[in-house]
Amino acid sequence: NHSVIDVRYGYQGRLLANAEFLNDPESQHFSLYGKRLLSGVKQPITEDLLNLAGVRLPVGELFVIDGKTVLWLNETDSVGNLFPEGFSTDYLIISNNSIGNEDELKPYLHAKEIIIDKSNSYYTQRALQESAKENGLSIHQVSTNGYFSSLWRK
């Protein structure tokens, strides 16, 4: 399964993806080409111009766009004590079974939106969805709801 984030802002884009997707031009074209054109991003993925303020972490990436923080957890290394208690992010994206149960999700309960992508196993997706519901969290499950889209400026 691919793990893909395509950030578009204005007429620029930045693709964040796993190596499998980056090495699959057919999937890139099928999944992104039309959406990018509709949003005004015309440059090829290899020539992305959008600079994201952020940092690569042992467990994924943390970046900021238009004042909103996005934490993408895409590594299965322990994410346990990496962030201080009460750490808050606007968007938490969970990939590759990086969080598999409620205990691992607890440090991120302050996220405004949780996105579970299709690279997670069915079991992990179900466990995270149940945990989020129990905690009253907003959740978007890509395998059920389709790709996630958000306007950065409203």
Quick: pLDDT tens for 22-72.
899 999 999 889 889 988 898 888 899 898 888 888 888 899 988 899 999
Asked if pLDDT for residue 79 goes beyond 60, the answer is no
Asked if pLDDT for residue 111 goes beyond 90, the answer is no
Asked if pLDDT for residue 152 goes beyond 60, the answer is no
* Contact yes or no for 63/50 (Cβ under 8 A): no
Name the least confident of 44-53, 85-94, 116-125: 85-94
Amino acid at 59: V
Task: Give the model's pLDDT for residue 154.
Answer: 42
Contacts of 146 (CB under 8 A, 6+ apart): none
Strands 4-9 and 139-141: unpaired
Of 62, 66, 53, which Cα lies nearest the Cα of 111? 62
Q: Between 32 and 154, whose confidence is greater?
A: 32
Task: Give the model's pLDDT for residue 24.
Answer: 92
Give CA–CA dist 14/7, Å, rounded.
5
> What Rg, from alpha-carbon coordinates, does the chain have?
15
Q: Between 152 and 112, whose confidence is greater?
A: 112
Name the least confident of 40-49, 55-64, 73-82, 127-136: 73-82
DSSP secondary structure of 62-130: EEEETTEEEEEE---S--TTSS-TT---SEEEE-TTS--SHHHHGGGTT-SEEEE-TTS-HHHHHHHHH
For residue 23, report the phi and psi dihedrals to the nearest 5 degrees.
-100, 15
Other C-beta atoms lying within 10 Å of the C-beta of residue 16 = 21
| pTM across the whole model | 0.84
Q: Determine what percent of the chain is predicted with pLDDT higher than 70.
A: 90
Query: Which residues sit opposite 141 in a β-bridge?
Result: 116
Tell me the pLDDT of the chain averaged across its residues.
84
